[in-house]
Structure 1
């Protein structure tokens, strides 16, 4: 018997059919290790198609490791990671992007010796529907202005925009974004927030690891709070105002 977490469920609402989004990413009892170090201790997270969720927590809580574990970029994993209905725990790392998953690491990972335009021509197509260059430049006008500049000449914010743009070129529909605002000027942070709003409106699913709660708070549908490699709280956007003081205490804001 199918459940809401397994597939799209249709329910009658006032004489019409309503669609409840399915879980596009479901993590169950995930443990992750670097060598003998046990980092994640039974993480449980579900993300519905088209949602933007955050992983919040202090440094060392396991947020970045969770993203790396999804991509099979840790030493060892146990538990279950289901992406688009497919179990991926035994899948090789280079196969996971073919499921439409794009990962933007904290280090950004652009080709510094190539210019912006060349960087945008290189990403492989992993799924249909990747954004065109025109669409990328419309979304990131800074990149259009700097399209002939090598990566070494870009500001931190421009490098971050380029890293995200490269992923959008691949056709990924699930974005794993790690600390995209760290160290950036407020005007760039605002621009990245506007981009995330547009991406979510287009139907993309986004998992955002973020230290800047003021940036993340108005964007997300749900917030997962991590501590010592576990999820300790889940707070919906509707609950945020009434639980903000509690959340600030958890995060040390």
Structure 2
């Protein structure tokens, strides 16, 4: 059974598992703090299984803090965070990935002294119940990485490093991807390649929460959108509702 078939099977099982199981990520009333700074104020957000959801907002709106709170990387948090129906309240941060969560932060974490292939093989495989993408599938998704397989991490361009950071997650067995500003500062041709990869991953059954400031990049990819401002969700709409939200988005994002 290949990776696409396995993901489809797992998504079907999740859909039959009971209340909340059709959601890859379900957040209700999420508050988070860094020390005494209260950065998230009652965030509600959902990512259905097999869909791509985009969290939009200006810098400092709280989007990255939302991802970090999901992973348990803020000083404190309250509210409900469930991944495939499992409550994360008592899950240690280092065990969240084992539930099938792949977090790709802005800091790509590429090891300069290791080759591209060595970086790719570094993370351990997760026991999530299905296989991650094979090396052959990753090579097909990111041909640049195949060509640069023996190049040290220090010789990769910023776009290639971003591809590698994402590719590392895909082979582990993660099925919920938390992607933080993966298009930021990259050349248009690389942004287009990443967009094609994300669309392909959605077609394979991955669930994706895409944090972006680049609305034009995410507009073609997401099934639904949330807009955050000052640690709160201020808008939520589907792709079908997008034409009627242009004026409001210009106010919130300046797009």
Q: Which of 208, 211, 220 is matched with 1:209 structurally?
A: 211
* Cα deviation 1:160-182 (Å, max 9, x = unaligned): 00000000010100000000011
- SS of the residue aligned with 1:107? coil
1:1-253, aligned counterparts within 5 Å?
8=15, 22-126=22-126, 127=128, 128-253=130-255
Q: Secondary structure at the match of 1:245?
A: helix
TM-score w.r.t. structure 1 length? 0.91
Question: Could you tell me how far 1:120 is from its partner in structure 2?
Answer: 1.4
How much is the aligned-residue C-alpha RMSD, in angstroms?
A: 1.5
In the aligned structure 1, how far is the partner of 2:184 from the partner of 2:46? Answer: 25
> How many residues get paired?
238
Structure 2 CA distance, aligned partners of 1:249 and 1:92? Answer: 39
How far the C-alpha of 1:8 sits from its partner, in A, is: 3.1
Look up the SS of the partner of 2:228 in the other structure. Answer: strand
The residue that corresponds to 2:8 in the other structure is none
Match of 1:16 in 2: none
Q: TM-score of the superposition, structure 2-length normalised?
A: 0.90
Is the 8 Å Cα contact of residues 160 and 180 (structure 1) preserved in structure 2?
A: yes
Q: What's the CA shift for 1:91?
A: 1.1
Pick 1 or 2: higher relative contact order, CA cutoff 8 A, min separation 6.
Answer: 2
- Structure 2 unaligned regions, length at least 5: 1-13
Report the 3-state secondary structure (helix = DSSP H, G, I; strand = E; otherwise coil) of the residue aligned with 1:238.
Answer: coil
Q: Distance in 2 between matches of 1:121 and 1:82?
A: 29
Shift of 1:93: 0.6
Q: Which residue of 1 aligns with 2:9?
A: none
Aligned to 1:13: none
Q: Which whole-Å CA distance do the structure 2 matches of 1:21 and 1:102 have between them?
A: 18
